[in-house]
Amino acid sequence: MYIRFFFITASIALLTMTVWSDTLYMRSGVQVHGVVLREEGNRLVVRTGGRVVRLPRDSVMKIEENNKDGSFDQEAARKALEEREKQLLEETGLTREQRQEIDALIRHLADPDPVVQGDARRRLTTMAAEKEVFEYIQNQISSWLPVHIAHILDILASAGGMHAGDTLLEHATHPDPTVRGMSIELLGIIQHKNALETMLRGLLDHEPTVRMAACAALAAIGAREATPLLIDNLQYADPGVNNYAGEALAVIWKDNDTATTLKTAEEWLQFWNAHQESVPRTIDLESLKPLVDEHARFEYC
């Protein structure tokens, strides 16, 4: 009876090991054999090779249940990494050393030392003049944190001008206000022809910094049809927004001597009522919605 009980118990244990062993197929080409213990936010907690690691969920292409023992095949991993390196070289035109240099400089963009930060920005802007570097940075931007993304957008706009337009438009709806604001301001600087609606929506943002960026962008492109929304922002709760809106109105109407002396929302409203018929309307201001929901927040892993 004891022998039979031991056999049954051992069989159950073996079955349990079979069911709960996994192979994780990583996007890098590496296979990790182990046991997925649980999920923690955007990470998988995995026991492999006698230790516990946490892997980003989006770095795992698929998980396969099997009876492997959780060991790590180093030779297979080496070959897979070599193949992946060849693939990346073909896709980006950059060697691993070049990509590592770019990534290191991007990390320095958030360095507390302004000298280090400024040097990284200058070097990246020069490097991004090369098509391969520009496209690599552009394609990798979503993998960085907002504090880096805002700087990266500035570099792309400085190096590529209108070529950065689509990336700027995409990030104008980013949940982080610093990224949204930078995107909108840069769209104005590069004079993007399809960004007017995005800029106008920025005037409805729940974050003052985004509204101020939208004021600057609209002034940069001389968007007179934004006048009603800019007048509304003259009465916004934040004094910084009030100042930016007033400056934007003065710039947009600067060829009219009367307009440059106006200060209050009431004065501007009277002016607008007298001049609005001369302004072409391309966008229905009443139908505009903010760029993001007021509860939008960037979620850190």
pLDDT digits (tens, 9 = 90+) for 157-195: 999 999 999 999 999 999 999 999 999 999 999 999 899
Provide the CATH topology of domain 19-76.
SH3 type barrels. (2.30.30)
Using a cut of 0.85, tell me whether the model's pTM lies above it.
no
Q: Six-digit token pair at 155?
A: 């570099």
pLDDT of res. 4: 39
pLDDT of res. 82: 78
Tell me phi and psi for residue 184, to 5 degrees. -65, -45
pLDDT of res. 42: 87
pLDDT of res. 70: 54
Nearest Cα residue to 152 out of 130, 194, 182: 182
| Contact yes or no for 43/301 (Cβ under 8 A) | yes
Give the pLDDT means over successive 10-residue stretches in the chain (301 positions).
38 40 84 88 86 89 76 68 82 92 96 96 96 95 94 96 95 97 97 95 98 98 97 96 96 76 93 94 95 87 57
What span, in angstroms and rounded, lies between the C-alpha atoms of 36 and 34?
7
Provide the CATH topology of domain 172-282.
Leucine-rich Repeat Variant (1.25.10)
Question: What are the extents of the domains in the chain?
Answer: 19-76, 93-163, 172-282
Per CATH, 19-76 and 172-282 having the same topology is answered no
Q: Which long-range contacts (CB under 8 A, 24 or more apart) does 221-224 make?
A: 221/188, 221/191, 221/196, 222/251, 222/252, 223/196, 223/199, 223/252, 224/252, 224/253, 224/279
pLDDT of res. 17: 39
pLDDT of res. 69: 55
The H or E element containing residue 40 is strand 31-40
Q: How many residues does the chain have?
A: 301
pLDDT of res. 67: 67
Residue 161 DSSP class: G
pLDDT of res. 190: 96
The gap between the terminal CA atoms of the chain, to the nearest Å, is: 53
pLDDT of res. 266: 95
pLDDT of res. 176: 96
pLDDT of res. 197: 97
Note the pLDDT tens digit of each residue in 78-105: 777 778 888 888 888 999 999 999 999 9
pLDDT of res. 68: 64
Q: Which residues contact 240 (CB under 8 A, 6 or more apart)?
A: 208, 212
* Sheet with 43-48, edge to edge strand ranges: 51-56, 43-48, 31-40, 21-26, 60-66
Alpha carbon 263 to its chain's center: 37
